[in-house]
Structure 1
């Protein structure tokens, strides 16, 4: 940077009059005489003018330069210049929130990372000073397949224009309420600090080996891409904010702002991208108040909308984000029932936050169509056809995979709309839970474990329960708090105990993906785990239920249950560069690590552990927020 002196120096040649050049002494005397002959008032004015000029010069000489808006470090600095959105529209600085940062503070860039596209690149020592010379720094790179193709980008603009969407994703400020950023103070006890340490350990591995990619492979020190949307970063945004991890949040925020592009020629799943990416962006927006997240969410929402352009209004499961062409899954003509009915919280919130009612209208239409379909005591088959709008004949009925969150979102949508009166959604929820109690609930003959089975072909009972089903105790308790009958509370308590036993009955203290239960006296144990079902994917569902039980009752017993499980994760899934799913919870000497750390480990599991261990059980106020199925808090709407 160019430097300038902060004073004016005059070089005078000194010496005897004999050493001066001819005429210089005379000139100097003439100047002095001329000065003395000036009127006193004029001399004073000249002196004042010179002093003023000196002071002005000192005041306006630059010291340390602020980073201009268009040249800010992409990973570390907060611009003091007015914040600009991606169309270069100036937004008010107060709308951009950086948690607990003084606006004049300069954040150092994060530790230089391994370059992603070439695993043979030299690795930078994590202990290296981030302020070392620029040539020693290797910045995180966006995955190659996330760089938009110019031709596809042009085509996407045309599609957006043809649908009246050109000019978005920016939002007119007058259309949005000013979200007040929520303040979090960080961990308050040793258990919370242990969870934060687990997060940081996971994050270090992800930054070093998978930055910008969807998931970390912590053992092989690589990455895995599902959609190429940086799932781990976006999924974990609100976790970092809630944990008060300010530096991690800032670098993630900057990656989202500068590198997350949805204009990619790739098919993505409507459900997974909605709950993880759209939900993550909206939650980060509501918690931080930073409208950049909302602008990104609107862009993504527009690209997902073609899924709803079907003969029946039931959405297709997949869409290409660049060409905006939607279709059924390649493996089946049908969509999963849970997938088309577990997008409503996010799209409704997007509609209310952006002022675009179309986002809510399409998902409400799905609600109405599913509501009108015939069901079995309120229970739904796990497949539905987007062309016909009908459930698949003789499909399985399950509260596990492909069916689970349909029931969750019946209740949570009602809560999101501030318990809208005469809402068919809550009536469908009551009917469905009656169907669960009468059709799916059983007890084992010896140990009396209450569990929820499945109906194969819609009628034949199977004593199989996915770990995914362990979300239900928390949902039932939440519903009971808002007026659901006592039978829901009883089932919640009994099912929570059963889910806990699926952990405690295993040598590792970790639950399998699927558990079978004894129907008759033909087995030695009431809880049965088959070899192909013995894997653990670091799933959050039971910790989620423990969180609701603690948050809604204040009973610290649930914290102790969670601590036992957290310690098992620490013992059997922690590896040098993160945490890994394992293939066998039945053998402590052969857990068969699977080398995968899914984004929900940071987005859900560790978040729920952190909230469960909080001294303040209202750290997330459940009267003000509803958590989506990926644990992203969205505000309860009051209009």
Structure 2
């Protein structure tokens, strides 16, 4: 082992220690250890299979921080021995070996970070209580080597899709993978490239990443193609989120400047309620611009004030002019999904206590009012549905399959009473299984956009109460994990029309979180089943295509959404990667799967932005 880093001190922050094994590094830059949390998470192995690029070491201090102008300490030559005598060199080698052998455990106990970008000496204060359950068994080296091969399959699939887009469709938004054409749905700015930047980095595709950044270094976002408009939500999560994540990973200032350009354009036409707080608050921290923080926080205050009347459940339509709700439709699917998601993730990212309280209010109301199980005589599947006034739809969207992953993340990170944590974990497991079985049931192995129950189900909390009153005999309701039914006549649901699979990521996202929070290999196996179905059923000459007819005659739709590269393939890759890569107390994924680092606001930032949370 060679000590390839130095300790850099900045106020109360400690930069990471970087270790490299030069003999196994596939790049000119040494690989870097995965950071460990306060509970000793890291167990990264240095192998040629782990092609993760080095993570950014510099501290992107906010311009408001008094430490921003401080220079890094001078790097000194630490050579202690010189001369021609072989014994001196032997003594130096032995001394270094002893220091490494005795020092590594001490460094880990002190929580000095390993290659983490602008990391604090410990995890942010609000996340320091997080510990991995002792029941989780980590994979052995031999077991992980097996999954590394599957990870390579995902990387190959990504490269196939990326090459098709770059060679055929760029600088347009998306590839039409059947005909080898192009389409523009998101401003005509090349959304697939910006959405894919962090995936390139995380998969170790160094040349492709560098080429992409070089291509867009002088990009002008002001130019809109004829008949195009800028959708605020999609532009925020795909362009702004993609640029911020790629900057957090690589430290390339070009990406931060581009992110600031996008933020400056969007803030002039701010018209989004939620699902933008992570991106704009992180941009505010990096640039020191208060307007980015103020805009998104003002919206949050409206929701906090409305929550008392709605018990944490919000309709999916609001009047932009008055800030008042419109209609009575409540869902966790399209139109509302990432709003609930960002309540929890704002707390994860920066310790926002109001957002944490709102998440708990909302998620408990969702559990009490929107989660059902299919009735006796069926497989007892758990599902989350939507309501309109006093009508319950008894359907589940694919988009709603993000929810169990959110439940798993919250149960892992939040300090919850044991009974509440248990309920959240059960809901996460049961809902994820239903999302998975919707794939396994189909002839193609691909899930439809929606499933509709053949009859009304029963509220899960009511079934849970009866089960507890009966002495908890057998498994909890919705936890049975019944077998797949390839015969549609046996199922308790029908596929929604049209029966399409749009290369969506929500199910694999939740499977990823279930694996990370339980360590149960069955979730990896289920994820691989889905990946193989995608690989065999949707691959084309140029990329991968959405399909229609998932349970009958499959047909290609000739579209490859940018989120397939940004989210779907990324979550597959992380599912098969080392379990400690991008730990949950260090990174939070936005709703487009762009990882952003967790942090604490400095005292200067709190004063400048008037942060009282």
TM-score category, normalised to shorter length: 0.5 to 0.7
- Does the 8 A contact of 1:508 with 1:572 survive in 2? yes
Match of 2:267 among 282, 305, 329: 305
Counterparts of 1:172 and 1:410, CA distance in 2: 26
Cα distance between partner residues in 2 of 1:561 and 1:187:
15
Q: 1:493 to 1:586 in 2, by over 3 A?
A: same
Cα shift readout 1:447-505 (whole Å, capped 9, x = no counterpart): 1001011102x321110111011111111011011224221111111111111111111
1:215 aligns with one of 166, 174, 186? 174
- Cα deviation for residue 181 of structure 1 reads 5.5
- C-alpha contact 2:318 2:325 (8 A) present in aligned 1: yes
> For 1:232 and 1:101, how far apart are their aligned partners in 2?
26
The answer to whether the Cα contact below 8 Å between 1:180 and 1:288 also exists between their aligned partners in 2 is no
- The equivalent residue for 1:119 is none
Q: Counterparts of 2:342 and 2:64 in 1: how far apart (Å)?
A: 30
**Bigger Rg, structure 1 or 2:** 1
- Give the 3-state SS of the residue equivalent to 1:568 in structure 2: helix
- Structure 1 gaps, min length 5: 1-98, 104-169, 309-315, 318-339
Counterparts of 1:122-201 in structure 2 under 5 Å?
A: 189-201=148-160
1:553 aligns with 2:485: no
DSSP 3-state at the match of 1:258:
coil
> Take 2:242 and 2:214, find their aligned partners in 1: how far apart are those partners?
15
TM, length-normalised to structure 2? 0.67
Shift of 1:384: 1.0
The yes-or-no answer on 1:246 pairing with 2:182 is no
Q: SS state of the match for residue 216, structure 2? A: helix
Cα 1:187–1:343 shift into 2, 3 Å: farther
Match of 1:267 in 2: 229
Q: TM-score, normalised by structure 1?
A: 0.65
Corresponding residue number in structure 1 for 2:382:
450
The 8 Å contact of residues 317 and 325 in structure 2, kept in 1 or not, is answered as: yes
Q: Paired residue for 1:439, among 356, 363, 369? A: 369
Structure 1 contact 214–231 (Cα < 8 Å) conserved: yes
SS at match of 1:442: strand
Question: Once the 2 structures are TM-superposed, how far is the Cα of residue 553 of structure 1 from its aligned partner?
Answer: 2.2
Which structure has the higher relative contact order (CA within 8 Å, separation 6+)? 2
CA drift of 1:376 comes to 3.4
Match of 1:488 in 2: 424
Quote the RMSD (CA, aligned, Å): 2.7
SS in 1 for 2:588: strand
Alpha carbons of 1:102 and 1:496: their partners in 2 closer, same or farther (altered >3 Å)? closer
Identify the residue that residue 367 of structure 1 maps to in structure 2.
Answer: 300
Q: 1:546 to 1:531 in 2, by over 3 A?
A: closer
Structure 1 distance, partners of 2:358, 2:544, is 39
CA displacement 1:95-142 (0-9 Å, x = unmatched): xxxx99759xxxxxxxxxxxxxxxxxxxxxxxxxxxxxxxxxxxxxxx
Q: Confirm or deny that 1:540 pairs with 2:472.
A: no
Output the CA distance in 1 between the equivalents of 2:118 and 2:184: 32
Q: For 1:500 and 1:176, how far apart are their aligned partners in 2?
A: 51
- Could you say what secondary structure the match of 1:626 adopts? strand
Q: Quote the Cα distance in structure 1 between the aligned partners of 2:424 and 2:550.
A: 31
CA 1:525–1:388 in 2, change beyond 3 Å: closer, same or farther? farther
Q: How far apart, CA to CA, are the structure 1 residues paired with 2:496 and 2:346?
A: 38
User: 1:355-394 alignment to 2 at 5 Å?
Assistant: 355-373=288-306, 375-394=309-328
Residue from 381, 404, 409 that aligns with 1:473:
404
User: What residue number does 1:518 align with?
Assistant: 454
Cα distance per residue 1:548-567 (max 9 Å; x no partner): 11122222211100000000
The separation in 2 between residues aligned to 1:187 and 1:604, in whole angstroms, is 23
Distance, in Å, in 2 between the alignment partners of 1:560 and 1:465 is 23
Q: Give the direction of change, closer, same or farther, for the CA distance of 1:102–1:401 in structure 2 (3 Å limit).
A: same
Matched residue pairs, number?
436
Is the contact made by 2:174 and 2:192 (CA closer than 8 Å) also made in structure 1?
A: yes
Structure 2: gaps (5+ residues): 1-24, 30-61, 73-114, 120-144, 458-487, 602-613
CA contact (8 A) 1:518 1:525 kept: no
Q: 1:245 & 1:181 partners in 2: Cα distance?
A: 19
Range with bigger deviation, 271-280 or 299-308: 299-308
Distance in 1 (CA, whole Å) between partners of 2:367 and 2:596 is 30
Question: C-alpha displacement at 1:393, in angstroms?
Answer: 2.5
| Other structure's SS at 2:392 match | strand
Q: 1:212 to 1:434 in 2, by over 3 A?
A: same
